[in-house]
């Protein structure tokens, strides 16, 4: 693994950093307070190529490597984790799965507009009774001539109302358990498909999280992704890459909070000197910087393995487990460094602390990452 970034990777990182500062920072507090989706900002992210970064240029993507994606995710998450989760889902859960397993027709019809950021995608695995226990899918898809009839409910779907292309996991043959699960492309507006209420959340409040209901939705057979029975493998392999995106999101939340704490510590004076001159604050900053660097290396290692075509499931689980823990610890300390000012919205760190928590829950909780890691260790 080369620790030196290429010129292209540095250019992507700098472009994302600039975009976040110029376009995302303004209004981020209001969007959080009002739980408002960053519509205009996400459109700009599409125009700048951040929504289909790793997709082959022949499908209108950026053709970039996963390291560039991690760098961009970190920069965007420093400022607005609601925008970055939209980006992460579109890139690594929706575009990746379609490019890897979709038919040529599906790529032409669905992947291209997703990679250009003209359309937004959603990934629909979780259900009211199937979160961590993802094999317990209750949503069914029954074959009826040249269509499947979908019935069921999906929960907690990111980009739930913004998306227009939904990758939906459903049971096609319950007797085969997880080997009888399949994946489908469902379009917004298909009859019987309704979007449920928006969740009122602790953090990433600008992200639109919804339940989705499917009642006798007729989905053409050509919208099945891969063979019948591929769905669980499709979901798990997609999540291996998705977890790199969420690890990078956690890293960005942590490094954003750290940068704010560092700046504040140099400015704020108590007992006649900047608080950065008190050893207790210096040690906090030293711990934060060290933990962030370790999290960054795990993210880059997982991305590097993916780019090399090697197994990265274990590395991505480790990166997500560790970076999300660091995001929680660092954001709590960043609030502490700010004292009372850290507790109010104006200084941003309280939002980052609230945003950090979700990184330990979605795309597999920390407990699930430990299951993935320990199974690999013991295999
Ligand atoms: N990569 C590839 N294959 C995997 C895998 C991985 N990481 N994890 C499991 N599998 C495969 C297994 O090899 C097995 O395949 P075979 O039967 O062909 O050998 C199959 O999946 C079933 O695996 P298990 O027997 O281990 O099943 P299990 O029920 O004991 O545990 C689990 C599976 C790892 C816990 C899985 O259910 C899981 O990952 N749960 C978490 C679900 C999750 O991450 N949801 C995220 C939803 S999307 C989201 O959250 C997006 C967002 O917020 C923005
Ligand atoms: P549960 O599975 O009920 O877990 C409850 C607790 O028990 C957790 O602490 C868990 O770690 C623990 N636990 C469960 N099983 C075990 C075990 N075997 N061993 C040890 N501990 C265990 N899903 C999607 O499909 N698409 C999305 O776009 C999406 N976006 C989301 C956005 C938000 C804001 C949220 C909150 C969730 C989102 N999810 C999405 C769902 C998310 O992936 C699930 O919430 C998550 O996988 C956990 O499932 P659960 O909520 O049902 O918790």
CA distance 169 to 150: 10
- pLDDT at residue 126, as a whole number: 98
The CATH number of the domain holding residue 178 is 2.40.110.10
Using most ligand atoms within 8 A of CB, pick from 362, 370, 373 the residue to mutate for ligand 2. Answer: 362
Number of domains the chain contains? 3
Tally Cβ neighbours within 10 Å of residue 341: 14
> Domain ends where: 120, 142, 167?
120
pLDDT band at 6 (very low <50, low <70, confident <90, very high): very high
pLDDT band at 227 (very low <50, low <70, confident <90, very high): very high
Using most ligand atoms within 8 A of CB, pick from 82, 365, 367, 375 the residue to mutate for ligand 2. Answer: 365
**Same domain membership, residue 217 and residue 248:** no
- pLDDT at residue 314, as a whole number: 95
Which tens digit of pLDDT belongs to each residue from 147-163? 999 999 999 999 999 99
CA distance 59 to 108: 7
> Domain ends where: 205, 231, 257?
231
> Domain ends where: 167, 200, 231?
231
Please state the pTM of the whole predicted model. Answer: 0.98
CA distance 57 to 177: 37
Ligand nearest to the CA of 245: 1
Copy the structure tokens of residue 241: 């890459």
CA distance 281 to 336: 9
Taking 80 as the threshold, does the pLDDT of residue 370 lie above it? yes
The CATH number of the domain holding residue 31 is 1.10.540.10
**Same domain membership, residue 162 and residue 74:** no
**Same domain membership, residue 261 and residue 374:** yes
Q: Residue with the nearest Cα to atom 8 of ligand 2?
A: 365
User: Which of 252, 249, 242 is closest to 372 using CA atoms?
Assistant: 242
24 inside domain: yes
300 inside domain: yes
The CATH number of the domain holding residue 276 is 1.20.140.10
Q: Is residue 125 in contact with ligand 2, taking CB distance under 6 Å?
A: yes
362 inside domain: yes
Whose structure tokens read 């760190």?
A: 349
**Same domain membership, residue 134 and residue 115:** no
Q: Which atom of ligand 1 is nearest to the CA of 242?
A: 51
User: Which of 274, 257, 223 is closest to 105 using CA atoms?
Assistant: 223
Q: Is 14 helix (H, G, I), strand (E, B) or coil?
A: helix
Containing domain of residue 277, as a range?
238-378
Q: Is 353 helix (H, G, I), strand (E, B) or coil?
A: helix
CA distance 6 to 3: 10
Q: Residue with the nearest Cα to atom 21 of ligand 2?
A: 367
Ligand nearest to the CA of 126: 2
Across the range 356-364, mean pLDDT stands at: 98
What is 289-352 written as a DSSP string? Answer: HHHHHHHHHHHHHHHHHHHTTS--HHHHHHHHHHHHHHHHHHHHHHHHHTGGGGGSGGGSHHHH
Ligand nearest to the CA of 157: 2
pLDDT band at 2 (very low <50, low <70, confident <90, very high): confident
Q: Is residue 123 in contact with ligand 2, taking CB distance under 6 Å?
A: yes
Which tens digit of pLDDT belongs to each residue from 274-291? 999 999 999 999 999 999
Q: Is 235 helix (H, G, I), strand (E, B) or coil?
A: helix
DSSP conformation class of 21: I
Q: Is residue 51 in contact with ligand 2, taking CB distance under 6 Å?
A: no
CA distance 8 to 295: 22
Residues 213 and 153 sit within 8 Å (Cβ to Cβ): yes
Active site residues: 363
**Same domain membership, residue 202 and residue 107:** no
Percent of the chain exceeding pLDDT 90 equals 99
Q: Is residue 137 in contact with ligand 2, taking CB distance under 6 Å?
A: no
Residues 138 and 108 sit within 8 Å (Cβ to Cβ): no
**Same domain membership, residue 193 and residue 113:** no
Q: Where are the beta strands (DSSP E) in the chain?
A: 121-124, 140-144, 147-158, 165-171, 181-187, 193-198, 209-220, 224-225, 269-270, 273-274
Backbone angles phi, psi at 305, to 5 degrees: -60, -40
Which tens digit of pLDDT belongs to each residue from 48-66? 999 999 999 999 999 999 9
Across the range 26-45, mean pLDDT stands at: 98
Q: Which residues form the pocket of ligand 1, taking CB atoms under 6 Å from any ligand atom?
A: 85, 89, 123, 125-126, 132, 134-135, 158, 178, 232, 236-237, 239-240, 313, 362-364, 368, 371-372
ipTM entry: 0.99
pLDDT band at 306 (very low <50, low <70, confident <90, very high): very high
Residue 204 to residues 127, 269, 355, Cα–Cα distance (Å): 20, 32, 5
Residues 72 and 54 sit within 8 Å (Cβ to Cβ): no
Taking 80 as the threshold, does the pLDDT of residue 1 lie above it? no
2 inside domain: no
Which tens digit of pLDDT belongs to each residue from 165-200? 999 999 999 999 999 999 999 999 999 999 999 999
Q: 3-state SS of the chain: helix, strand, coil percent to 5? A: 60, 15, 25
1 inside domain: no
97: CA distance to ligand 1 center in Å?
15
What is 46-65 written as a DSSP string? Answer: HHTT-SSTTS-GGGTS----
372: CA distance to ligand 2 center in Å?
14
336 inside domain: yes
**Same domain membership, residue 226 and residue 297:** no
**Same domain membership, residue 129 and residue 21:** no
**Same domain membership, residue 227 and residue 170:** yes
**Same domain membership, residue 321 and residue 219:** no
Q: Is residue 166 in contact with ligand 2, taking CB distance under 6 Å?
A: no
Percent of the chain exceeding pLDDT 70 equals 100
**Same domain membership, residue 354 and residue 244:** yes
236: CA distance to ligand 1 center in Å?
5
Taking 80 as the threshold, does the pLDDT of residue 256 lie above it? yes
- pLDDT at residue 133, as a whole number: 97
171: CA distance to ligand 1 center in Å?
15
**Same domain membership, residue 218 and residue 262:** no
Using most ligand atoms within 8 A of CB, pick from 239, 246, 361, 374 the residue to mutate for ligand 1. Answer: 239
Which residues 6+ apart lie within 8 Å of 74 measured at CB?
Answer: 13, 16, 248, 249, 251, 252, 255, 296, 299
173 inside domain: yes
Residues 64 and 54 sit within 8 Å (Cβ to Cβ): yes
- pLDDT at residue 280, as a whole number: 98
125: CA distance to ligand 1 center in Å?
11
Residues 116 and 91 sit within 8 Å (Cβ to Cβ): no
372 inside domain: yes
Q: Which residues pair with 225 in a beta bridge?
A: 183
Using most ligand atoms within 8 A of CB, pick from 121, 134, 227, 355 the residue to mutate for ligand 1. Answer: 134
281: CA distance to ligand 2 center in Å?
35
pLDDT band at 98 (very low <50, low <70, confident <90, very high): very high
């Amino acid at each position: 693994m080369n620790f030196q970034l290429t010129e292209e990777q540095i250019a992507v990182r700098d472009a994302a950093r600039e975009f976040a500062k110029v376009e995302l920072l303004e209004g981020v507090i209001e969007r959080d307070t009002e739980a408002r989706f960053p519509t205009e900002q996400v459109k700009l992210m599409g125009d700048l190529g951040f929504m289909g970064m790793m997709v082959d240029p022949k499908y209108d993507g950026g053709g970039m490597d996963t390291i560039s994606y991690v760098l961009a995710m970190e920069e965007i998450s420093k400022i607005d984790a609601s925008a970055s989760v939209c980006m992460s889902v579109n890139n690594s859960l929706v575009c990746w799965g379609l490019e890897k397993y979709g038919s040529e027709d599906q790529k032409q019809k669905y992947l291209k507009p997703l990679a250009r950021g003209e359309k937004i995608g959603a990934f629909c695995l979780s259900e009211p009774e199937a979160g961590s226990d993802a094999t317990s899918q209750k949503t069914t898809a029954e074959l009826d001539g040249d269509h499947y009839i979908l019935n069921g409910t999906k929960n907690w779907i990111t980009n739930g109302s913004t998306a227009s292309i939904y990758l939906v996991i459903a049971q096609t043959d319950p007797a085969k358990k997880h080997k009888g699960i399949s994946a489908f492309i469902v379009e917004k507006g298909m009859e019987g498909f309704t979007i449920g209420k928006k969740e009122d959340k602790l953090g990433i409040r600008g992200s639109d999280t919804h339940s989705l209901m499917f009642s006798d939705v007729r989905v053409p057979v050509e919208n099945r992704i891969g063979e019948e029975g591929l769905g669980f493998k499709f979901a798990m392999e997609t999540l291996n890459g998705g977890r790199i995106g969420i690890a990078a999101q956690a890293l960005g939340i942590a490094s954003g909070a750290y940068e704010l704490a560092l700046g504040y510590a140099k400015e704020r004076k108590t007992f006649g000197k900047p608080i950065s001159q008190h050893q207790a604050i210096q040690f906090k900053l030293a711990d934060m910087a060290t933990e962030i660097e370790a999290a960054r290396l795990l993210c880059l290692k997982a991305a590097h393995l993916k780019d090399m075509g090697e197994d990265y499931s274990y590395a991505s689980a480790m990166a997500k487990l560790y970076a999300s823990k660091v995001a929680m610890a660092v954001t709590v300390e960043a609030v502490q460094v700010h004292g009372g000012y850290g507790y109010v919205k104006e200084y941003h760190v309280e939002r980052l602390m609230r945003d950090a928590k979700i990184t330990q829950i979605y795309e597999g909780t920390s407990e699930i990452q430990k299951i993935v890691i320990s199974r690999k260790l013991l295999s």
